[in-house]
């Protein structure tokens, strides 16, 4: 007989944790991989760059949003009951500490270690005479012709500075040919110029010798101001609010409206200023005034102001020993035996669902399925959603070819996929040129569901085949992100997919679906009901368990439901890669909840939800995280794994491996702090185990 559930007591502190500070905690975990000596050297450099890229988006979206909120309501508070002004202060302190750690590891650890391996990023004060001569020639021939120095005076006001662009603030002394002596100038580095340049072999000291564009500009920028004395030259970079705004009620044509907004994104309100550590106090103050920022928004860095650009260096170097070992994605046995032979993919799927676990298993079957549909004379229609797919995509080219082949092709392109808007607009235009039906989803909602459906004539009847996924139809990220994809010919599941496409392209009320939980209609209520059902089972003294894996957990209703389930005695394991607002292990509130985060070689992206359900063991895969936006502002799918063998695979590969203690697992305490028991990313991790299992 089970013991009675614990009596709830009032927890100390807020019931939820702060989202923005949780995001910084995630980036601190990512940065720990850059510090980890067990990670290959060039991959450690990548992690440094990834943190910089993540911080860029954090400031462009999250910090920008907080600043806007504070502007409209100075007394605004976040869901954890912190004053927004206090959150911004804490962000400044914590982000500054993280950035300082980044540059310390970059300068003191990674650069010396790379030099020992024959990879040098030589600073200008260490150039040899031959390197200096080469650099000057490069500046005069490849850089100088495209530069436009702007001396600041009443006729030349401070220029508009592009978001995240490389710029130089110049302090000068003396008068120019017109007698002007303002003392300040700005030089903007055009985006057409490469930020990292490989030195030619004849002047390189080591096999791989790189120099940054910033170093070359700082060394020779005085040539732009003949006859004047250069007192100071400082790199700076400004980050701006990059959230696009389109009035859903006023917009007549979403594509046209977005095309107009994309350019303005480069010039949104400034939210962060990065300057080199040697920048003078007077110049820093001057720049702060120009961008309407305070000292809290300034980040002094000991090196290049944009570490993101160094991410290309590992790709330029042929040193497999300094990177993660290459692997060849595997295939499920049934596909390996049949799909690669003369049997078409439809015959294989018709015999039973096919589960793919990326990146350990290949994305190629998805392309093969679509290509087969594009040329099969029996295929009548192809329908697909596109959220992110990349500027170059064999999948999109196949859809275009299918339309040329006379197939009825319908593509739901999400034009408001953040930072992929321009790419998606271009694909939409190309699809329309060949006669495909292109729709942009539903105004006011992002189409985040990942669905592909093929309608085929078989024995005089139409039969549907579907592919549903937790991740995007993006070939490159399919080798970098962990995701599940499911092929099915299950009539009820395919009918659900068809119904969702009808909603996206047509008009009418939503119909009840057989299996799929759909946002914004049923997903939130179904998840709450599943959690409450487990709580009822636990109260009745029977075993109850929830395991959920996702990228973020922020929805307050779901968090409260999980608290209630914990108090009822449900054992809850949450695997949350990024931000988790739930507080685990709080006495009387969340005693039975454990939260862990797994980081590694691949970006954890799968969403997997398991409910014991009195022994029925319901397993769901989803495109949605447990966030308010996913439940109510997006069109999402949460679909069951119905076949026993596939359900067992998801449990084993997607959940149980992640619940073992390993080098890649971080555990979270009630204060939102994370600890990694293994301390290093060694061989014991879910990802390394899955590589051995699925991609031998």
pLDDT of residue 3: 41
Radius of gyration over every alpha carbon of the chain, rounded to an integer in angstroms: 27
Q: Which fold has domain 333-509?
A: Endonuclease; Chain A (3.30.870)
| Residue-wise burial string across 120-139, b where 16 or more C-beta atoms lie within 10 A, e elsewhere | bbbebeebeeebeebbeebb
In contact, 215 and 136? CB cutoff 8 Å = no
Q: What is the pLDDT of residues 475-487, one digit of tens each?
A: 999 999 999 999 9
Say yes or no: do domains 19-322 and 333-509 share a fold.
no
Domain ranges across the chain: 19-322, 333-509, 518-694
- Alpha carbons 225 and 235: distance in angstroms, whole number: 17
**Residue 232 structure tokens:** 């100071």
In Å, how far are 417, 592, 617, 621 from 610, measured between CA atoms? 28, 16, 7, 9
* Res. 7 pLDDT band, cuts 50 70 90: very low
* Three-state secondary-structure class, residue 140: helix
Longest dimension (CA), the chain: 94
Q: Give the separation between CA 399 and CA 453, rounded to whole angstroms.
A: 12
Task: Tell me: pLDDT of 423 over 90.
Answer: no
> Cα(51)–Cα(27) distance, rounded to whole angstroms?
6
pLDDT at 392: 86
**Which is the catalytic residue, given 357, 358, 448, 605?**
448
417: pLDDT strictly greater than 60: no
Which of 495, 321, 270, 475 shows the shortest CA–CA distance to 386? Answer: 475
- Count other Cβ atoms within 10 Å, centred on residue 240: 20
Higher pLDDT, 229 or 399: 399
Residue 406 has which token pair? Answer: 């006379």
CATH number among 3.30.870.10, 3.30.465.10, 2.40.160.20, 3.10.20.340, domain 518-694 = 3.30.870.10
- Reported as a single tens digit per residue, the pLDDT across 277-312 is 999 999 999 999 999 999 999 999 999 999 999 999
Active site residue 358: no
Contact 425, 431 (CB under 8 A): no
Q: How confident is the model at residue 335 (pLDDT cuts 50, 70, 90)?
A: confident
Predicted TM-score (pTM) of this structure = 0.92
d(CA 344, CA 656): 34
- pLDDT tens readout for residues 170-203: 998 887 666 666 688 999 999 899 999 999 999 9
The CATH homologous superfamily for domain 19-322 is Polyphosphate kinase middle domain (3.30.1840.10)
Is it the case that residue 635 has pLDDT exceeding 60?
Answer: yes
Residue 12 confidence (pLDDT): 65
Write a three-state SS string for 206-249: CCEEEEEHHHHHHHHHHHHCCCCEEEEEEEEEEEECCCCCCCCC
- Between CA 513 and CA 497 the distance in angstroms is 9
Range of weakest confidence among 121-130, 280-289, 317-326: 121-130
Q: How far does the chain reach from its first CA to its final CA, in angstroms? A: 46
Which pLDDT score is estimated for 159? 87
Task: Write out the two tokens for 684.
Answer: 């014991």
Beta bridge partners of 167: 188, 236
Find the range with the poorest average confidence among 51-60, 236-245, 323-332, 445-454: 236-245
- Are the C-beta atoms of residues 331 and 365 closer than 8 Å to each other? yes
- Token pair 């009675």 is found at 4
Confidence of residue 418 (pLDDT cuts 50, 70, 90): low
């Amino acid at each position: 007989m089970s013991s009675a559930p614990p009596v709830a007591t009032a927890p100390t502190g807020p019931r939820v944790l702060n989202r923005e500070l949780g995001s910084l905690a995630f980036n601190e975990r990512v940065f720990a991989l850059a510090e980890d000596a067990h990670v290959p050297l060039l991959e450690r450099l990548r992690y440094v760059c990834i943190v910089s890229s993540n911080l860029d988006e954090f400031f462009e979206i999250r910090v920008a949003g907080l600043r806007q909120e504070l502007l409209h309501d100075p007394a605004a508070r976040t869901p954890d009951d912190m004053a927004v002004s206090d959150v911004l202060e804490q962000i400044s302190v914590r982000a500054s500490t993280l950035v300082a750690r980044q540059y310390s590891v970059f300068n003191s650890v990674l650069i010396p270690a790379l030099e020992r391996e024959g990879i040098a990023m030589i600073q200008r004060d260490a150039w040899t005479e031959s390197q200096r001569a080469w650099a000057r020639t490069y500046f005069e021939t490849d850089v100088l012709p495209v530069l436009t120095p702007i001396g600041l005076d009443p006729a030349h006001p401070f220029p508009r500075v592009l978001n995240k662009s490389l710029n130089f603030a110049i302090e000068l002394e003396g008068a120019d040919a017109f007698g002007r002596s303002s003392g300040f100038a700005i030089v903007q580095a055009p985006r057409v110029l490469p930020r990292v340049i490989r030195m030619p072999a004849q002047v390189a000291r080591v096999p791989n010798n790189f120099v940054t564009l910033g170093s070359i500009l700082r060394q020779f920028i005085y040539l732009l101001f003949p006859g004047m004395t250069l007192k100071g030259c400082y790199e700076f970079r400004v980050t701006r609010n990059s959230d696009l705004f389109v009035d859903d009620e006023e917009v007549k044509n979403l594509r046209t409206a977005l095309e107009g907004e994309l350019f303005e994104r480069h010039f949104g309100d400034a939210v962060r200023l990065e300057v080199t550590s040697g920048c003078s106090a007077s110049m820093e103050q001057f720049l702060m005034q120009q961008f309407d920022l305070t000292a809290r928004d300034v980040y002094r860095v000991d090196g290049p102001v944009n570490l993101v650009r160094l991410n290309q260096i590992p790709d330029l170097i042929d040193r497999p020993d300094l990177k993660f070992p290459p692997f060849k994605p595997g295939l499920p046995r049934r596909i390996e035996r049949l799909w690669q032979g003369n049997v078409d993919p439809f015959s294989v799927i018709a015999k039973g669902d096919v589960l793919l676990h990326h990146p350990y298993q290949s994305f190629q079957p998805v392309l093969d399925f679509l290509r087969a549909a594009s040329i099969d004379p029996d295929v009548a229609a192809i329908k697909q959603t596109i959220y992110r797919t990349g500027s170059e995509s064999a999948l999109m080219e196949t859809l275009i070819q299918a339309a040329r082949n006379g197939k009825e092709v319908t593509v739901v392109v999400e034009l408001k996929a953040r930072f992929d808007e321009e790419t998606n607009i271009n694909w939409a235009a190309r699809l329309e040129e060949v006669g495909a039906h292109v729709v942009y989803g539903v105004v006011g909602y992002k189409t985040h569901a990942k669905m592909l459906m093929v309608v085929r004539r078989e024995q005089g009847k139409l039969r549907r085949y579907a592919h549903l996924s937790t991740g995007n139809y993006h070939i490159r990220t399919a080798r970098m992100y962990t995701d599940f994809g499911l092929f099915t010919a299950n009539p009820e599941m395919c009918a659900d997919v068809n119904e969702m496409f009808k909603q996206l392209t047509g008009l009418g009320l939503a119909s009840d679906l057989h299996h799929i939980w759909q946002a914004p209609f049923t997903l939130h209520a179904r998840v709450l009901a599943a959690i409450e059902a487990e709580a009822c089972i636990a109260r009745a003294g029977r075993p109850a368990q929830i395991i959920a894996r996702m990228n973020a957990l922020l929805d307050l209703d779901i968090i409260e439901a999980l608290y209630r389930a914990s108090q009822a005695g449900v054992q809850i394991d949450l695997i949350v890669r990024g931000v988790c607002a739930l507080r685990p292990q709080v006495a009387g509130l969340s005693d039975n909840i454990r939260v862990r985060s797994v980081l590694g070689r691949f970006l954890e992206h799968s969403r997997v939800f398991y409910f014991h359900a009195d022994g029925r063991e319901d397993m769901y895969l989803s495109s949605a995280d447990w966030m308010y936006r996913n439940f109510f502002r997006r069109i999402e799918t949460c679909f069951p794994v119905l076949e026993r063998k596939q359900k067992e695979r998801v449990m084993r590969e997607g959940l149980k491996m992640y619940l073992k203690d390993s080098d890649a697992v971080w555990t979270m305490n009630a204060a939102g702090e994370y600890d990694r028991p293994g301390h290093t990313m060694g061989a014991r991790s879910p990802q390394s185990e899955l590589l051995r299992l699925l991609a031998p």
